[in-house]
């Protein structure tokens, strides 16, 4: 019986056509195979259309499985990834159960054992979210993350929470950025004192939102030089030992990057989804893609992408595309993710954030005009819609028919 190895996979792809008619094997980046499991990575230069790439992935699955069937090769699981020039995964599909850790360790035919662990697909949800639980009384938990720091993730989290509250929802916000909490400043919490009742944290009620942050539990000028377990414990305490009450939405402002705090969150909290914050420039997009893939690998639905600092509005009322407007929207389209909206930056937004007056961003008289309030309202509307769709997809909610 032929062996399931690199040569077998290359031969199987030599007879299948790629998007432009060339043999798929010409687009092969690497392959790996172990017993009954295989992984293939492909690159199609200049092609980013999601439908085209999806069709190529399907042909790859078909070609390899057809060859396996013809030659009597046992193939129980096949992972196909399509990557760009930088090696970022644009599309990942998995047919059959994913390899176990022991089997992944054997996927060394290409010297890429760790890379053979493909990001999760909608077909098979990883164990992280399967073992997670919700927070009593909280309908939707939404994480706000970013691939890198400095893109305004906390700004988006705060204003999104206030925007949802202004629409009549009961909203909470949790500062999950353990090492660099921003909520004390952005929500004006400096004059508030932390209250504990029966070992439970009472959240602060500001701007119509319930808020809790590690920044009110430590010296504001003391660096948090904590190892992973301490940060994990702080995160779990904030989420599980806070008297949230009944909430429609709990927004979690995550630290930047793809570190262990998001993993802790995914293992402990059943999330409705995640929002990715990105600025327009390419360097931010690269890291935002990694953040999106991280959430997908953890089994968390990505509700959409927000382009923060999309453009600058000067005091003269003119707009300036200082970071190149539209880059994050194009990234969302390339990844097949919803685009939730673009948020401008102006002097008023900076002033209101530094003074802890988030509500001022929703009044044209204190927000530097109508552009910012309209953008924030649109962001909240789009997130509501995407959360409802995710709820139906996950089986948490059912569609409602209203007749009037």
Residue reference for tokens 């890198």: 148
Tokens of 102: 């022991």
pLDDT(289) > 80: yes
- Cα(259)–Cα(157) distance, integer angstroms: 19
- What's the CATH architecture for 6-124? 2-Layer Sandwich (3.30)
Nearest CA among 140, 177, 171, 181 for reference residue 254: 177
CATH 3.30.300 in the chain, residue ranges = 6-124
CATH for 133-394, options being 2.130.10.30, 3.40.50.1970, 3.40.50.300, 3.10.180.10: 3.40.50.300
In this predicted structure, the answer to whether residue 127 has a pLDDT above a threshold of 60 is no
Q: Which two tokens stand for residue 311?
A: 């453009």
Q: What is the DSSP letter of 23?
A: B
CA distance 360 to 341: 20
Q: Report the distance separating Cα 108 and Cα 129, nearest Å.
A: 28
Is the pLDDT assigned to residue 104 strictly greater than 50? Answer: no
Inform me whether the pLDDT recorded for 379 exceeds 90: yes
pLDDT band for 173, please (50, 70, 90 cuts): very high
Question: Quick one: pLDDT at residue 279?
Answer: 95
As a whole number of angstroms, the distance between CA 212 and CA 395 comes to: 29
Q: Quick one: DSSP state of residue 332?
A: H
* CA gap 144, 130 in Å, rounded: 20
Average pLDDT over residues 163-184: 93
In the chain, CATH 3.40.50.300 covers: 133-394
Under DSSP, the state recorded for 115 is: G
**Token pair listed for 168:** 């009549």
Total Cβ atoms within 10 A of residue 230: 12
- Residue 327 CB neighbours (<10 A): 21
pTM for this model (two decimals): 0.67
Q: From CA 131, how far away is CA 121, in angstroms rounded? A: 17
Cβ atoms of residues 82 and 56 within 8 Å: yes
Across 361-383, average pLDDT = 96
The phi-psi region of residue 304 (left if phi > 0; otherwise alpha if psi is between -120 and 50; otherwise beta) is left
Q: Are 266 and 298 within 8 A, CB to CB?
A: yes
Q: Tens digits of per-residue pLDDT, 27-42?
A: 886 666 655 667 788 8
Q: What integer is the mean pLDDT of 285-311? A: 91
Residue range 364-373, pLDDT digits in tens: 999 999 999 9
Structure tokens at 19: 């998007």
Please give the helix or strand (H or E) that residue 143 lies within, else none. Answer: strand 138-145
């Amino acid at each position: 019986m032929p062996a399931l190895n690199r040569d077998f996979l290359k031969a199987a792809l030599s007879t299948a056509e790629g998007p432009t008619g060339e043999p798929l094997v010409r687009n092969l980046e690497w392959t790996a195979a172990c017993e009954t499991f295989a992984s293939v990575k492909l690159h199609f230069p200049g092609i980013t259309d999601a439908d085209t790439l999806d069709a190529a992935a399907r042909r790859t699955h078909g070609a390899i499985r057809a060859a396996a069937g013809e030659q009597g090769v046992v193939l129980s699981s096949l992972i196909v990834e399509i990557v760009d020039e930088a090696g970022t995964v644009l599309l990942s599909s998995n047919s059959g159960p994913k390899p176990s850790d022991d089997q992944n360790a054997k996927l060394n035919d290409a010297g890429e054992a760790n890379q053979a662990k493909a990001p999760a697909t909608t077909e098979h949800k990883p164990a992280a979210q399967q073992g997670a639980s919700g927070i009593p009384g909280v309908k939707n938990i939404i994480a706000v993350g970013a691939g890198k720091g400095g893109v305004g993730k906390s700004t988006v989290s705060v204003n999104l929470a206030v925007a949802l509250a202004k629409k009549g929802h009961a909203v909470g916000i949790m500062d999950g950025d353990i090492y660099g909490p921003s909520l004390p400043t952005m929500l004006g919490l400096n004059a508030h004192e932390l209250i504990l009742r029966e070992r439970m944290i009472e959240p602060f009620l500001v701007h119509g939102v319930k808020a809790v942050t590690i920044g009110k539990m430590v010296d504001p000028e003391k660096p948090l030089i904590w190892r992973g377990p301490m940060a994990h414990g702080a995160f779990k305490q904030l989420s599980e030992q806070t008297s949230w009450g009944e909430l429609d939405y709990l927004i979690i402002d995550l630290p930047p990057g793809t570190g262990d705090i998001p993993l802790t969150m995914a293992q402990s909290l059943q999330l409705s989804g995640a929002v990715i914050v990105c600025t327009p420039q390419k360097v931010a997009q690269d890291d935002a893609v990694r953040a999106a893939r991280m959430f997908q690998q953890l089994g968390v639905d990505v509700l959409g992408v927000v382009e923060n600092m999309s453009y600058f509005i000067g005091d003269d009322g003119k707009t300036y595309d200082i970071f190149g407007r539209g880059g994050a929207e194009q990234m969302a389209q390339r990844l097949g993710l919803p685009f939730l909206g673009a948020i401008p930056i102006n002097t008023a937004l900076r002033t209101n954030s530094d003074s802890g007056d988030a509500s001022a961003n929703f009044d044209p008289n204190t927000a530097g005009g109508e552009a910012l309030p309209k953008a924030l309202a649109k962001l909240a509307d789009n997130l509501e819609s995407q959360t409802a769709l995710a709820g139906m997809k996950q089986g948490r909610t059912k569609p409602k028919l209203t007749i009037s």
